[in-house]
Every structure is written in C-alpha cells, then in structure tokens.
C-alpha cells in the first residue's frame, strides 16, 4: 500500500510538470461531485419537512437555495471535468514524449540496458491502449470523490445517532448492530470480489500488452521489410502470429464473464443492504425519532455509504494496478545519470588546437567480464590523420565510443587539452565530433534536414557537402530535390541505396564541420569507384581537421601517415604503411592476407 501511494505521488509529480494545477482541479472536482448528492438530500429533507408543517414560503426558500447551490457545484464540475478529460487525452501522449526525450538524452550505456528497453516497450504497449496515465487520473479522481463522500456519510450517520431519542435507543442499537454486521459482511465480500475482479482485469491487461506489442511489431515489419517476407515466405509465419494476437478477444470474453458475475453478486448484496437500511430509518420515523423528510436523508446516506466504501476499494485496486505500470515510466524518466555530469565549456580555439590523450585506458562493457580494451595509450592532435586497423572485434569501434563518451573507461582516463573529458558539458563536447558510425542512422525526414541535422539550412554549405560526396546530381534528380523526404515511414519518401545513405551520412558529418571527423568503416557500403573517390578526395574532404579512420580494408589506410594496429583490445603496432610492412607483424599479416585476393 505504501509503495502504491509512493507511486501515485511520483505519478502526480510527473503530471504536475505538464499541468501544475492538476491536483487542485482534481480535488475541486471531487469536492463538487461528492457534495452535490448530499446538498440535494439535505434540502429535500428540509423541503419535505417544511411542506408537512405547511411552511410553504420556507419550502420555496430551501428550493431556491438548493437549486442555486446545485448550479454552483454544477458549474465547478463542468469546468473541472473539462480539464480532467483534457489531462486524460493528452497525458499518455505527453508521457510518451517524456520517455522519448529521456531515451534521447540518457547515457548510451544506460539506454542499452534491458530494463530501459523494457520501459520503452511498455510505453509503446501503453500507447496501444493497455490503460495508462489518462485512466489513472480518472481513477484518482473517482477515489477522491469516494473518500470525500465517505466523510459526508459519516458526518450524517453520526448526526443520526446523536439525534436519536432516548426512548428508542435500544431498538436503534439493535438495528445498528444488524446494519453494522451486514455492512462489515458486505465490505469483506466487496473487497474480496473487487480484488478478484481487478486481478482478472490486471491479468487481461498484462496479456494484452504483449499481444499489442506483437501486433504493432508485425504490422510495422509487414509494411517495411517486404523483400525478406516475400522471399522467405514469412507471410504464413506472420499470419500465425497475428492469429495468436486474436487470442486477445478470448481474453476479453473470459474477463467479461468473470466481471459480470462479480458485479451481479455485489449489486445483490447492496440491494439487500439498501432495503434493510430503508426499513431501519422507516422504523425510526414511525417511532418519531426522526422527521419524514430525514428518512430520505439518512436512508440515502446509509445506502450511499456502502456504495462509497465498495467504490473506494474498487478504485483503489485500479489505482494500484495503474500505479504499478506507471511506476515503470517514472522510474525510467527519473533515472539518475550514471556518470559525473560535466559542466565545463569547451574551449573555443580559433587555432583549433585540441589534443586528445588516452591514458592507460582499459574498458569492459557493463555486465561483461572481459576487457575489450587494455591499457591504451594514445595521443591525437588536431590536424592528425590516424588510421585504426585490426581484425573484427579488436576493439576499434569501442575506442571511438569511449572517445565520444558513449561509455566511460573502466580504468584510466581520456583527456582533452589535459582535462578529463567527463568534466566537459556533454552537449558542448559533442560539438567537436563529426562521426560516421558503421551503423549510422538517417531518418525519415527531408534529405536537407538529415544532412543539416536541423531546420535551419545553409543551402550553399549543403550543396558543397553533397558535391564533395558526389550526391549533388542524384539529389537534383529527386522529385523534391534536397527537400525530398527520405524513406517511407512518414509518407511518400524515397528509399536511397546503402551506398547513397553512407554518402549522405558523410555529407552530414562534413556539414557539421567539427574539428574531429571520425569515420568508422566509412566506405563499407560504397561501390569500388565511389570508394576510390572518397580516398582520392580524402584530404579535400577532411581539410585541416583531424580524422580517425577505421577500416578493415587495409589498402584504404595507406594514405594515412599514422596507423595504429589493434589486436585483442591492445595497440600492438604503430607506424606508417611502409614501416609497418617492414615489421612483418599483425599489420603485414592483415595486409598480405587481403593483398592475396587482388594478386
Ligand atoms: P571492432 O570495431 O574492432 O570490430 P568492437 O570495438 O566493435 O570491435 O568490439 C570489441 C569487442 O567488444 C567485441 O568482442 C564485441 O563483441 C564486444 N562488444 C561490442 N559491443 C558490445 C556491447 N554493447 N556489449 C558487450 N560487448 C560488446
């Protein structure tokens, strides 16, 4: 229970970010809604009593008061309802936005973890309708209404008890005992049934999350990855999966049956209790303990009290269920940063004099045992062109990931101009790199926005960069030229080839114009002519910037004066093409192995 309220508090904090007054709105709404029936009951009683005493004017006065109060409460309800409904509609979307944002800014190392991935999957499941923030707001509101109503009921029941005339006291006590027993029984049954009902609801929703995620995955893949589906005839497999998705209907029916039974049992018990409480209050009226008008007030109060008690249990269970789910989001969104968050600005140097140094850097990936980098010592200055070579899995890409602060070194440190890179503000730090990763991503947005990484586009610069990577002509022939939408995810876009995408990714790196260019297997998807062009123009491309160039094509590294050779996470050789060949070590062995194919 404590955990549930903690989760609800966290959830309301999230809501507050978007809607600072949400809690006040919910409470005002609940107050108005809970007060309305009692205002009516109290004034009905007063009007009936005035009428039975022939006090017509007083009756009219009460009627006018009742109508005015109801109107005022109705107006509050109307406006707060409107806001609560709006929260309901927008909160799930907004939560999804917060999750997306967190996913985009969180540390890469954290992002890769399974529980982060699970949170994102759950968020997507929620977007598919497994109940979410909107419903939680609704249930919290309903729960608060029940609690306020219970307080009202207790007040009026206490008043009834105090007003009982002494002569009927014993009789009233017996009736109250009977009612109390029934009430306790009803509460136990109600609680049990409400728990059963919410458990089965919870089970249904959890099963649905999985089916929803499978269903949207299949729908997405079936419209994107057509080639493989056609040629491996995956339709049958996918249809089988989709049929298993139809199990959802079965789950709903199963839950519907159970829930129908639970509701029937509860309403039968409530009706018995309502009848008994009317008889009790009726007897009190006949005995003259209470006025005729008050029969309505007190019988109504007792009957409502039971409704509110069972209602509060039901809504509490719903809140608990939703809180469990939503807690996953809050946990994800509020995940603290793993690392020291740097604040230092990057020194803006007109001479571009930056120096990186890896000092005794060793690294193993989180939750793994083996070091993939061992005691790396390496210096790099602006203007240097460094080639990094080595077999697959030697640790080349990992070196780049550490340099870009996607991971922190397990041991040792990386310095920029003598200061640990972790101490710099991360956003500023990223401005000095133009990386093209092996698994780079372009997005389904217009081509120019992809290359310029934003909406502000310098057309001259864009054209120069496209020219440098040999894409100008291709882009000129596209339907919307540089504004052409890439890929089909977001509309009638253009599918570019792997090689073209790689050229665009290089153009994006050039457009960024950062002092350090990192090219990780930059020509893997290019055809031999395009690859040759990249090498020939390499110095033009890079100009006076630093470049770290990773390639498994040894011939492509020849033009670099400084080549480091990685083997099993260690730097085993360093030199230029000629000196390394002379050494007849790892480099020579890799080079000769590839040269054989061309001989
Ligand atoms: P290279 O770029 O030289 O081919 P990598 O730096 O990509 O090599 O990989 C070095 C080693 O680290 C490999 O054994 C690889 O399996 C492992 N590795 C890479 N990424 C991860 C990761 N995210 N988690 C665990 N191990 C990884």
Cα separation of 457 and 465, whole Å?
12
Strand partners, 416: 356, 419
- Compute the distance from residue 576 Cα to the ligand 1 centre, in Å: 26
The residues near 489 (Cβ < 8 Å, ≥ 6 apart) are 224, 444
Ligand 1: which of 109, 390, 393, 565 to mutate, judged by most atoms within 8 Å of the beta carbon?
A: 393
Nearest to 273 by CA among 169, 381, 162, 182: 182
Residue pLDDT, tens place only, 418-464: 899 988 888 888 888 888 888 888 888 899 999 998 888 899 999 99
- Compute the distance from residue 420 Cα to the ligand 1 centre, in Å: 24
Closest ligand 1 atom to the C-alpha of 399? 6
- List the residue whose alpha carbon is closest to atom 1 of ligand 1: 393
Q: How many CB atoms lie within 10 A of CB 422?
A: 17
Which helix (H) or strand (E) element contains residue 381? Answer: strand 373-381
In the chain, the N- to C-terminal Cα span, in Å, equals 74
Nearest to 17 by CA among 99, 125, 130: 99
Residue pLDDT, tens place only, 477-495: 988 888 899 887 777 888 8
Out of 56-65, 317-326, 407-416, 584-593, pick the least confident.
317-326
Give me the pLDDT at residue 126, please. 54
How many residues in the chain?
599
- List the residue whose alpha carbon is closest to atom 23 of ligand 1: 365
The residues lining ligand 1, judged by C-beta closer than 6 Å to any ligand atom, are 112, 365, 368, 372, 390, 392-398
- Here the tokens at position 502 are 């790689």
Residue pLDDT, tens place only, 296-328: 888 888 888 888 988 888 888 888 878 877 777
Residue pLDDT, tens place only, 284-296: 788 777 888 888 8
Out of 115-119, 123-127, 582-586, pick the least confident.
123-127
Give me the pLDDT at residue 128, please. 47
Ligand 1: which of 391, 397, 435 to mutate, judged by most atoms within 8 Å of the beta carbon?
A: 397
Cα separation of 197 and 330, whole Å?
26
Per-state percent for the chain, helix, strand, coil, to nearest 5: 65, 10, 25
Ligand 1: which of 111, 361, 371, 372 to mutate, judged by most atoms within 8 Å of the beta carbon?
A: 372
- Compute the distance from residue 415 Cα to the ligand 1 centre, in Å: 23
- Compute the distance from residue 591 Cα to the ligand 1 centre, in Å: 22
Of the spans 116-120, 169-173, 559-563, which averages the highest pLDDT? 559-563
Ligand 1: which of 107, 113, 365 to mutate, judged by most atoms within 8 Å of the beta carbon?
A: 365
- Compute the distance from residue 252 Cα to the ligand 1 centre, in Å: 45
Full set of structural domains in the chain with CATH: 2-333 (1.20.1560.10), 355-440+514-595 (3.40.50.300), 443-495 (no CATH)
Q: What are the backbone dihedrals phi and psi of residue 411, each rounded to the nearest 5 degrees, phi first?
A: -135, 155
- List the residue whose alpha carbon is closest to atom 13 of ligand 1: 393
- List the residue whose alpha carbon is closest to atom 7 of ligand 1: 397
Q: Is 83 exposed, middle or buried (0-12, 13-18, 19+ CB in 10 A)?
A: middle
Could you give the C-alpha distances from 279 to 168, 172, 275, 284, in angstroms and in order? 15, 12, 6, 9
- List the residue whose alpha carbon is closest to atom 22 of ligand 1: 365
One-character DSSP codes across 332-375: HHTPPPSS----BPPP--TT---EEEEEEEEE--TT--S-SEEE
- Compute the distance from residue 372 Cα to the ligand 1 centre, in Å: 7
- Here the tokens at position 177 are 């005992």
- Compute the distance from residue 450 Cα to the ligand 1 centre, in Å: 28
- Compute the distance from residue 413 Cα to the ligand 1 centre, in Å: 19
Residue 166 scores a pLDDT above 60: no
Residue pLDDT, tens place only, 520-572: 887 766 777 777 776 666 667 777 788 888 877 777 777 778 899 999 999 99
One-character DSSP codes across 260-282: HHHHHHHHHHHHHHHHHHHHHHH
- Compute the distance from residue 395 Cα to the ligand 1 centre, in Å: 6
Out of 12-26, 170-184, 203-217, pick the least confident.
203-217
> What is the gyration radius of the CA atoms in the chain, in angstroms?
36
- Here the tokens at position 506 are 């290089």
Higher local confidence (pLDDT), 241 or 53: 53
Give me the pLDDT at residue 79, please. 93
- Compute the distance from residue 373 Cα to the ligand 1 centre, in Å: 10
Closest ligand 1 atom to the C-alpha of 569? 10
Strand partners, 386: 548, 562
- List the residue whose alpha carbon is closest to atom 21 of ligand 1: 365
Residue pLDDT, tens place only, 352-400: 667 899 999 999 998 888 999 999 999 887 778 889 998 889 999 999 9
Give me the pLDDT at residue 351, please. 63
Q: Cα–chain-centroid distance for residue 133?
A: 11
- Here the tokens at position 487 are 């890929």
One-character DSSP codes across 469-502: TT-HHHHHTSTTGGGPBBSSTTSS-B---HHHHH
DSSP 382: T
Q: Report the percent of the chain where pLDDT is more than 70.
A: 87
Cα separation of 173 and 164, whole Å?
10
Q: Report the percent of the chain where pLDDT is more than 90.
A: 25
Q: How many CB atoms lie within 10 A of CB 252?
A: 13
Whether the CB-CB separation of 205 and 321 falls below 8 Å is answered with: yes
- Compute the distance from residue 400 Cα to the ligand 1 centre, in Å: 11
Could you give the C-alpha distances from 131 to 87, 89, 124, 205, 573, in angstroms and in order? 14, 12, 12, 8, 58
Residue 127 scores a pLDDT above 50: no
What is the pLDDT averaged over residues 559-587?
A: 90
Q: For the chain, give the mean pLDDT.
A: 82
What is the pLDDT averaged over residues 405-427?
A: 90
- Compute the distance from residue 367 Cα to the ligand 1 centre, in Å: 13
Closest ligand 1 atom to the C-alpha of 392? 4
- Here the tokens at position 217 are 């995955």
What is the pLDDT averaged over residues 47-52?
A: 90
Closest ligand 1 atom to the C-alpha of 373? 10
Give me the pLDDT at residue 62, please. 94
Q: At what angle do helices 2-18 and 292-333 cross, to 10 degrees?
A: 80
Which helix (H) or strand (E) element contains residue 562? Answer: strand 562-567
Residue 188 scores a pLDDT above 60: yes
Residue 218 scores a pLDDT above 50: yes
């Amino acid at each position: 229970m404590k955990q549930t309220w903690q989760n609800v508090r966290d959830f309301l904090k999230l809501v507050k970010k978007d809607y600072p007054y949400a809690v006040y709105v919910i409470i005002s709404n609940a107050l108005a809604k809970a007060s309305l029936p009692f205002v009516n009951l109290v004034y009905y009683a007063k009007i009936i009593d005035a009428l039975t005493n022939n006090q017509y004017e007083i009756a009219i006065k009460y009627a006018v008061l009742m109508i005015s109060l109801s109107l005022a409460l109705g107006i509050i309800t109307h406006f707060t309802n409107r806001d609560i409904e709006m929260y309901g509609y927008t909160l799930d979307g907004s939560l999804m936005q917060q999750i997306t944002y967190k996913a985009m800014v969180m540390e890469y190392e954290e992002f890769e973890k399974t529980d982060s991935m699970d949170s994102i999957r759950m968020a997507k499941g929620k977007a598919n309708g497994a109940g979410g923030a909107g419903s939680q707001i609704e249930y919290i509101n309903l729960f608060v209404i029940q609690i306020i109503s219970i307080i009202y009921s207790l007040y009026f029941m206490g008043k009834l008890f105090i007003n009982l005339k002494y002569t009927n006291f014993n009789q009233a006590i017996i009736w109250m005992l009977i009612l109390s027993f029934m009430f306790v029984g009803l509460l136990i049954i109600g609680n049990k049934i409400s728990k059963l009902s919410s458990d089965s609801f919870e089970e249904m929703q959890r099963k649905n999350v999985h089916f929803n995620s499978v269903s949207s995955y299949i729908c997405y893949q079936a419209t994107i990855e057509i080639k493989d589906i056609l040629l491996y005839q995956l339709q049958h497999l996918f249809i089988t999966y989709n049929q298993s998705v139809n199990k959802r209907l079965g789950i709903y029916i199963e839950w519907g049956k159970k829930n129908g039974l639970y509701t029937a049992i509860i309403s039968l018990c409530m009706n018995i209790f309502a009848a008994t409480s009317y008889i009790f209050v009726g007897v009190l009226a006949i005995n003259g303990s209470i006025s005729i008008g008050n029969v309505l007030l007190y019988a109504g109060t007792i009957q409502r009290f039971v409704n509110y008690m069972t209602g509060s249990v039901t809504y509490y269970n719903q809140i608990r269920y939703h809180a469990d789910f939503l807690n996953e989001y809050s946990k994800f969104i509020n995940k603290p940063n793993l690392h020291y968050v740097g604040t230092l600005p990057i020194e803006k140097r007109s001479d571009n004099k930056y120096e990186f140094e890896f000092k005794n850097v060793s690294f193993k990936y989180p939750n793994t045992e083996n070091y993939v980098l061992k005691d790396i010592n390496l210096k790099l200055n602006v203007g240097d062109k460094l080639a990094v070579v080595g077999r697959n899995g030697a640790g080349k890409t990992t070196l780049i990931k550490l340099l870009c602060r996607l991971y922190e070194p397990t041991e040792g440190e990386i310095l920029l101009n003598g200061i640990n890179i972790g101490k710099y503000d991360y956003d500023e730090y990223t401005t000095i790199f133009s990386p093209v990763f092996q698994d780079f991503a372009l997005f389904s947005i217009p081509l120019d926005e992809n290359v310029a990484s934003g909406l502000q586009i310098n057309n001259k610069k864009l054209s120069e960069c496209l020219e440098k990577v040999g894409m100008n002509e291709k882009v000129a022939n596209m339907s919307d030229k540089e504004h052409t939408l890439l890929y089909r995810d977001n509309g009638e876009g253009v599918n570019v080839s792997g090689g073209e995408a790689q050229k665009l990714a290089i153009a994006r790196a050039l457009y960024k114009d950062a002092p350090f260019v990192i090219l990780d297997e930059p020509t893997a998807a290019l055809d031999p002519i395009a690859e040759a062009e990249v090498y020939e123009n390499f110095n033009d491309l890079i100009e006076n910037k630093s470049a770290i160039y990773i390639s498994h094509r040894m011939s492509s590294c020849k033009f670099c004066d400084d080549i480091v050779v990685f083997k099993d996470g260690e730097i085993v050789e360093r030199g230029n093409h000629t000196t390394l060949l002379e050494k007849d070590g790892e480099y020579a062995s890799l080079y000769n192995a590839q040269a054989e194919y061309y001989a």
